[in-house]
Amino acid sequence: VDFEDVDQCTLSPGGEAQDRLVLELHRPPRFFKENPPAAGAAAGEVSYVYTTDFTNGQASAESRHTLFFEPGAVSRETAKKMVQHGIRITLEGERGGRQAGMSLSGGLAASRAPGPAALSMSAPMRQPPTSSPRLDAIVLKDQLNREMRERQAKYTGICPVREGIYAAVFDELIASVGRDQPKRGGVLRRVQAEARMTIDAYRTVFESSIDFGTRKLREAVETKGDLEDEIAALDAEIAALRTNVAELQNLCESLEYREEQKAKVYEVKDKEEVDLATEKQQLEELLAVLRLSKPEKK
C-alpha cells in the first residue's frame, strides 16, 4: 500500500500467535506489487511495479484493514522504518500504549493535516520503496492527478487551484534537483522567475482587457440610451414631415383639378367666340353681296 494512503496503524505483537497490524486509511488504497526477481538480479534486490487494487474492490470499500503476519515478522526495526516514512504507529502490549512517530518534525507526519487553504502538495513528496525512475514518475504523476481531482482543479483555462498545485510541484522539483546539482537548480529558479514574470504580464493584460471591456460596455449602454432618444426625436420629425408632404400633395392635386376645369371652360368660350366671329364674317359678306345686287336709285 502507498504510504500516502495510511493515516495511522496499530501493531499488536502476538508472542507465539500471529502478529496483527491494523491500518487506518484516509483515502482509497494504492498498491505496489512485488515482482519475482529477474534472472541475474543481485541478492536481496526487490522490484516493485505500480498496480491498481488487486483485491477485487474489497480493499477500496474499507478504511480499516487488519493484516496478520508470522510471529516476530513485524520487528521493532520494521516499526522504525514505518515511522521514518511518516506513519503514526501505535505499539500495543506496552505500558500505556506508547505512540511512535509523534515526535517527528517536518515531513509527512507534520503536514498530514494542513489548513483548508493550504496546499497538500507543499509537503515533500514521498519516495516510493523502489529505485526505478519510471515507477517514481508513474507514482508522482498519479499523485498529481489525484491532487488535481480532489481539489477539483480545471485542466484547461484559468484556474488558481491548478496554478497553486503546479507552483508547489515546481518548487519541490527545484528543491530536489538543487540538492544534487546546485547549478541546475539555479537555472530552474531562473526559469521559474521568468515564468512568473510572463504569467504576471499575461495577468496584467487580462485584467486590463477586463477593465477596458467593462468601460466600453458602460459607455455603450450610456450611448445606446442617448441614441435611442435621438432616434425617437428623428422618428417624430419624420412623421411630421410625412404629414406635411401628404398635405402638400393634396393641395397640388386640388390645384391641378382647378386648372383643368378652367382650361375646359376656356376651350368652350374660345369655340363660341370663333363660331360667332365666323358667323359675323359670313353675315358681313352676305350683306356686301346684297348691297351690290341692289339697284341704285336715280
Residue matched to cell numbers 512517530: 101
The pLDDT tens digits for 217-260 are 999 988 988 899 999 999 999 999 999 999 999 999 999 998 88
Average pLDDT, integer, range 37-61: 49
Q: Which of 186, 221, 256 is the last residue before a domain boundary?
A: 221
Residue 202 lies in a domain: yes
Residue 36 has pLDDT above 80, yes or no: no
The whole domain housing 164 covers 133-221
Q: Which of 164, 190, 221 is the last residue before a domain boundary?
A: 221
Burial-class residue 27 by CB neighbours within 10 Å (0-12, 13-18, 19+). middle
Range scoring the smallest mean pLDDT among 15-24, 54-63, 186-195: 54-63
- The residues near 159 (Cβ < 8 Å, ≥ 6 apart) are 153
Residue 15 lies in a domain: yes
Instruction: For residues 142 and 88, state if they share a domain.
Output: no
The pLDDT tens digits for 86-122 are 666 676 654 444 443 333 333 333 333 333 333 334 3
Where residue 211 falls among pLDDT bands split at 50, 70, 90? very high
Residue 193 lies in a domain: yes
The pLDDT tens digits for 156-185 are 877 888 888 888 888 888 988 888 888 998
Residue 70 lies in a domain: yes
- Say if residues 3 and 29 touch (Cβ distance below 8 Å): no
Residue 241 lies in a domain: no
pLDDT at 279: 85
- Say if residues 50 and 142 touch (Cβ distance below 8 Å): yes
